[in-house]
Amino acid sequence: MGMRKGRILVTGGCGYIGSHTIVDLIDNGYEVVAVDNLSNADESALAGVAKITGRQVRNHVIDLAEREPTLRLFREEQLTGVIHFAALKAVGESVQQPLRYFYNNINSLLNVMAGMAETGVNNLIFSSSCSVYGNTTDLPVTETTPRQAAESPYARTKQMGEDILQDYCRVHPAFKTVLLRYFNPAGAHPSSLIGEASANPASNLVPVITETAMGKRSEMTVFGDTYATRDGSCIRDYIHVMDLAHAHTLALDFLLANRQQSNCELFNLGIGEGVSVLEAIRAFEQVTGQRLNYRIGPARPGDVEAIYANYDKAAAELGWQPTYDITDIMRSAWAWQQVR
Ligand code: NAD
Ligand code: WQD
């Protein structure tokens, strides 16, 4: 084993995207330290990471919305960079509990930035979301497509996070950040040792599908079939979590090699193809041979009719390419559902 490329703090490292990213970072020569307050996860994901990579990652159980413990963590660890995943992410819950979402997501970011400033750590990757585009009709979405009003407090925390980092970068030229706007992450590691395991009940399409097929739900609802799309159901850009994880490693490589043109870079991460809800269901049925018990219901308030990414910028500047499609997503999500 040669020299590692640097030591990275992964916030939200016990969560869904964080745990998959840790695997990719270790596989690509980074050393990782995690911090997670276990509000939506437990440390079993890190046991899965250890089985996959042969490395046990240490987790600090700290609430990043608290300033002092967060600063202490930065003083203790000698870090090369930070990937900031930690956030609350349930869109519907954020509508009901806006202050909790603003408190958690904004304070966590501010405290991480303060810790970085105090200890001279200058490389940050931030988890943003396609939800910052709001109800856009400009498809496919590029990084320069204007953001529309946020459809939820959750989405607003992501817009605010982007704005905070942009303002900070303007006056701190040594600080470098990459904002990654994820489209719809889904699927699991091919080993089925890690996957999506929220403490909160699932509301995203792919886990709802696999839980219905497992019998954990008696049926599922397709939210609307009268949209102006090819089959009437909503269109999204489902990106495999392994492809998404690798983009974080590439974004770090990019910052550490100083290949950025600005100290605040922005990338869409989607596969560039729209898949409808009914197509996703069909893909699941084909891959698994299961028949899914679904019915057509009313549209879900706040849903965008169709959104998918243009990822040319990530391809050109990060050298990133998606390698998995919706069938791979369904196969791995189903395998994970059966063992979790
Ligand atoms: P997740 O809930 O699985 O992971 C987030 C982790 O952060 C959890 O383990 C949680 O316990 C931890 N956390 C939350 N608040 C914290 C705090 N104050 N201090 C310490 N730890 C805290 O979610 P995920 O799907 O892995 O999402 C990771 C990031 O990506 C989030 O910022 C999310 O908003 C963003 N994102 C997710 C999606 C998606 O659909 N999954 C899409 C776009 C963007
Ligand atoms: C996908 C499609 C539903 C469940 C959310 C956030 C977004 C980002 C990704 C964090 C939609 C349909 C779903 C069901 C259904 N997260 N659906 N029946 O809403 O595109 O995006 O997650 O940043 O910000 O808003 O994802 O998985 O909930 O829905 O028909 O039981 O599946 O209507 O068209 P969404 P989703």
The dihedral built from the CA positions of residue 254, 256, 262 and 266, taken in this order, carries a sign that is positive
The amino acid sitting at 325 is D
Short-list 12, 308, 280, 91, CA closest to 184: 308
pTM exceeds 0.95, yes or no: yes
Q: What percent of the chain has pLDDT over 90?
A: 97
Return the residue matching tokens 């089959």: 231
Report the separation in Å between the CA atom of 104 and the middle of ligand 1, taken as the mean of its atom positions: 11
CA–CA separation, 228 and 28 (whole Å): 43
Residue 337, ligand 1, Cβ within 6 A: no
**Model pLDDT for residues 294-317, shown as the tens digit of each residue:** 999 999 998 999 999 999 999 999
Q: Which of 88, 154, 156, 204 to mutate to test the pocket of ligand 2 (most atoms within 8 A of CB)?
A: 204
Structure tokens at 138: 């400009």
Work out the average pLDDT over 217-246: 98
Residue 38 pLDDT > 50: yes
CATH topology for 7-187+239-270? Answer: Rossmann fold (3.40.50)
Task: Count, in order, helices (H) and strands (E) of the chain.
Answer: 11, 13
- pLDDT value at 1 more than 60: no
Closest ligand to 224 CA? Answer: 2
d(CA 64, CA 35): 8
pLDDT, position 200? 86
- Is 154 annotated in the active site? yes
Is the peptide bond prior to 201 cis by the omega test (within 30 degrees of 0)? Answer: no
| Confidence category of residue 34, pLDDT binned at 50, 70, 90 | very high
Write out pLDDT tens, residues 252-311: 999 999 999 999 999 999 999 999 999 999 999 999 999 999 999 999 998 999 999 999
Establish whether residue 41 lines the binding site of ligand 1, counting it when its CB lies within 6 angstroms of any ligand atom: yes
Q: Which residue has the tokens 């109800």?
A: 135
What DSSP letter does each residue of 16-69 carry, written as one string? HHHHHHHHHHHHTT-EEEEE---SS--THHHHHHHHHHS----EE---TTSHHH
Fill in the DSSP letter of residue 316.
I
Per-residue tokens: 64:
């990043």
Burial class (CB in 10 A: 0-12, 13-18, 19+), 279: middle
Q: What residue segments make up the domains of the chain, in order of their start? A: 7-187+239-270
Which pLDDT belongs to residue 4? Answer: 86
How far does the centroid of ligand 1 lie from the alpha carbon of residue 14, in Å? 9
At 106, is the pLDDT very low, low, confident or very high (cuts 50, 70, 90)?
very high
Among the bound ligands, the one closest to the CA of 308: 2
The gap from C-alpha 298 to its chain's centroid, in whole angstroms, comes to 27
Residue 165 neighbours by CB under 8 Å, 6+ apart: 109, 113, 124, 126, 177, 179, 264
Confirm if 131 and 304 have CB atoms less than 8 A apart.
Answer: no
The residue from 30, 154, 238, 311 that is catalytic is 154
pLDDT by residue (tens digit) across 135-174? Answer: 999 999 999 999 999 999 999 999 999 999 999 999 999 9
The Å distance, Cα 53 to ligand 1 centre, comes to 22
CA atoms within 13 A on the CB side of 169: 20
228 Cα–ligand 2 center, Å: 17
Structure tokens, 292: 């899914």
